Structure 1
Amino acid sequence: MTNALAPLIDSAARATEPVVRGVKDEQLTWPTPCTEYDVRALLNHLFHVVVGFQALAARGTFDFSTTPDYLEGDWRTRFGDETVKLAEAWSHPDALEGVSQGMGLPQRTVAHMVMGDLVVHGWDLARATGQDYRPDPAALGEAGPALEEMAPMARKAGAFGEEIPPPPDATPFERVLMCTGRDPHWSPS
């Protein structure tokens, strides 16, 4: 038996994994929609999140204060392996119960955070490296409202930029991106 969010975390990871695999070595220094990260730094951040949130699924702790360099050896395959471990860690029936020791937030909120990171940073990496990205609609449907709800806290912590007001015809995904401070039409040039 599993919980309802584990398959969505897995589908968010499955949508992001081909983007990570598609990053070429010469693109690692390219800019991303996350102005504080180039492609390499964003990949390391996302890797660190995937590894760290495995521990948080079990209500453990994890040191997010520094980010090691994960981009050694066959890091593209290893990213896929780590996302499998992430989905497995969140698949325990009680993974969404209680409060995260490592974050001090409800476990369900922590699960939404990692799902949101996979969805939004998957897009960031795709935009930065000229790849296609389509988030899983079910994962987006779950993570989108949660990201909008946590946006004020995330902005205060510096994790989100200032919200860009969406036009009336914005898609649900564009609304999520704009909520996190991203321009859906961003390009590296």
Structure 2
Amino acid sequence: MKTISELLEGAAARAVPVVRGVDDDRLADSTPCSEYDVRALLNHLFLVIENFRALAVKGSTDFSRTDDVVTGDWRGRFDEAAALLVTAWAQPGAEEGTPGKMGIPARTVGLMVLGDLTVHAWDLARATGQVFEPDAAVVAELGPGLEAMAPQAREMKVFGEPFPVRPGATAFERVLAVTGRDPGWSPAGR
């Protein structure tokens, strides 16, 4: 079984090019996350990475912040933030204990950020007309992990209701569907 840091490294390698490929003129475009446009989703992803990096080292978090960090060299800062996330989860003890106030095992917390990084990279790719191919090892881990978390995630309004998938759907399409996403989503008018 791969470590969370190894999985995050694979996910980050797929997410970073997507973020780098977001043109500034697409920041107001809609995304598969109906509550976020591209800019808001990028801000959310930065916040997620920062907080889950803190959770890896058993630090404190603040998910309530709403700073707009999509300014200046935000693409370069995303590269750095993703690398720091991978490094934090590679530290001894990162996958042990129950970090933060969630009261859940550290590996499960790591799967949560792995899911966010991967699914939101897909969201951004779809919203901005890019191709996204997730890391196969990440998808293999996320499938059962997100399926197990789904009931609680729906109660917390983090996931939508499962989207019905077609027979023969890929493993990643099933991952997207369990989060409530339509794997065939595309921007209106494109």
TM-score over 0.5 (shorter chain): yes
The residue aligned with 2:105 is: 106
Unpaired runs of 5+ residues, structure 2, are none
Task: Measure how far apart 1:5 and its partner are.
Answer: 1.8
The residue aligned with 1:55 is: 54
Distance, in Å, in 1 between the alignment partners of 2:97 and 2:130 is 38
Identity %: 56
Distance, in Å, in 2 between the alignment partners of 1:144 and 1:17 is 22
Q: Check whether the contact 1:56–1:62 (CA below 8 A) recurs between aligned residues.
A: yes
Unpaired runs of 5+ residues, structure 1, are none
Q: CA RMSD in A?
A: 1.0
The residue aligned with 1:93 is: 92
The residue aligned with 2:75 is: 76
The 5 A counterparts of 1:31-180 are: 31-180=30-179
Count of residue pairs the alignment pairs up: 187
The residue aligned with 2:23 is: 24
- Give the TM-score of the pair, scaled to structure 2: 0.95
Q: Check whether the contact 1:27–1:129 (CA below 8 A) recurs between aligned residues.
A: yes
Distance, in Å, in 1 between the alignment partners of 2:130 and 2:136 is 18
Distance, in Å, in 1 between the alignment partners of 2:81 and 2:65 is 19
Q: Check whether the contact 1:98–1:107 (CA below 8 A) recurs between aligned residues.
A: yes
Distance, in Å, in 2 between the alignment partners of 1:27 and 1:60 is 34
The residue aligned with 1:15 is: 14
Task: Measure how far apart 1:50 and its partner are.
Answer: 0.8
Q: Which whole-Å deviations, capped at 9, do the CAs of 1:43-71 have from their partners, x for residues lacking one?
A: 00001111111100011111001221111
Q: Check whether the contact 2:53–2:88 (CA below 8 A) recurs between aligned residues.
A: yes
Task: Measure how far apart 1:19 and its partner are.
Answer: 0.5
Distance, in Å, in 1 between the alignment partners of 2:187 and 2:166 is 23
Q: Check whether the contact 1:116–1:144 (CA below 8 A) recurs between aligned residues.
A: no
